[in-house]
Structure 1
């Protein structure tokens, strides 16, 4: 096949020149999460705690890499506030939380009811409620109980279930959804 010429320049040469210009003009944003807000391959978590008054709006993943300092800050936010103890939250749980939020297409932050729990806190909550598991994944820093004012428990649970990534519990009477990175399963009404 003969090469097409446009004003003395081949089509292949013209495309090559265009691509070279585009590559040179493309900015690089390595380690610049601030520039990537709202674009590119990023993951973000947005929550607040009525118990502590704290808020978090954090990009924790950029271009295929977790941001270590962001994960540390998220773990501190999701600490057992009753005992003031922190354990590193499993990034898979954070991913499920963020993916569900994105699927729900809301800007409202989650209300975090419970993240990491010490065994002491879990035992205390278990003595008050039959809905608290003896071997809860909260104690492994692999679970969160969350609420959104603009979405129902069923809407949140359906979005979390569509991730096919862990356990999803509906607590309609208490108006929250449990999300964890354990085996895929569902419970509650």
Structure 2
């Protein structure tokens, strides 16, 4: 059933026009909060972990307020499962993940590959791969690596980039996208 009014505009067309306007008006992270507010009265994260088998479907923000217990649950879900350590995930990272997911217009949850990483885990991964930064934002709880089966790395990265709110790395060979709340930048292919 199409959600249209008498003028023939669909709800999706109007939301798309609003999103395009909001993106144009939000070129820096300091203005990105306004863009994220355009996502509606709730912010929700849907993810699963292939490593732990855990699933998360969590509304963590309602009407301008973060829900403390929900954020705590997200922090646990995004923990370093290798050493079972948690860290508070930067709320800006959660907002970027949620906004990009909304822009992709999918109900499929992200597969979380990496959220928080302890220094030990980061050092171990760095010894195995040149693609792991020595001072990774994962160790500060400011980054996540995700994938979606129904969307390409390019589609996911374009959605994240349209938020103009942090770093976006494309890892096409490994089929995942890195999103963080650091300086706006992009890398990878």
Q: Structures share a fold, TM > 0.5?
A: yes
Distance 1:160 1:40, change over 3 A: closer
Residue 52 (structure 1) aligns with = 52
* 1:61 alignment partner, SS class: strand
In the alignment, what sits opposite 2:67? 67
Structure 1 residues 120 and 150, CA, compared in 2 at 3 Å: closer, same or farther?
same
User: How far off is 1:95 after superposition?
Assistant: 0.2
- 1:28-84: CA deviations, max 9, x gaps? xxxxxxxxxxx9500000000010000000000000000000000000000000010
Provide the C-alpha distance between the structure 2 equivalents of 1:56 and 1:177, rounded to a whole number of angstroms: 19
User: Distance between the aligned counterparts of 2:100 and 2:91, measured in 1?
Assistant: 14
Unaligned runs of 5+ in 2: 1-38
- For residue 178 of structure 2, give the secondary structure of its aligned residue in structure 1: strand
**Secondary structure in structure 2 of the residue aligned to 1:72:** helix
Show the counterpart of 1:186.
186
Partner of 1:125: 125
- d(CA) in 2 for partners of 1:182 and 1:151? 24
Superposition deviation, residue 99 in structure 1: 0.2
Q: How many residues were matched structurally? A: 151
- C-alpha spacing 1:47/1:139, structure 2 compared with 1 (3 Å): same
> Matches of 1:68 and 1:90 in 2, distance apart?
13
Superposed CA offset, 1:137-176 (max 9, x none): 0000000000000000000000000000000000000000
Equivalent-residue separation in structure 1 for 2:91 and 2:57 (angstroms): 16
Residue matched to 2:99: 99
Q: Give the greater-gyration-radius structure (CA).
A: 1
Cross-structure match for 2:168: 168
Matched, 1:159 2:159: yes
Q: Which runs of 4+ in 1 moved over 6 A?
A: none
Distance 2:181 2:139 in 1: 13
Name the structure 1 match of 2:7: none
2-structure distance, mates of 1:71, 1:49: 17
What residue ranges of structure 1 are gaps of 5+ in the alignment?
1-38
Give distance in 2, aligned partners of 1:43 and 1:78: 17
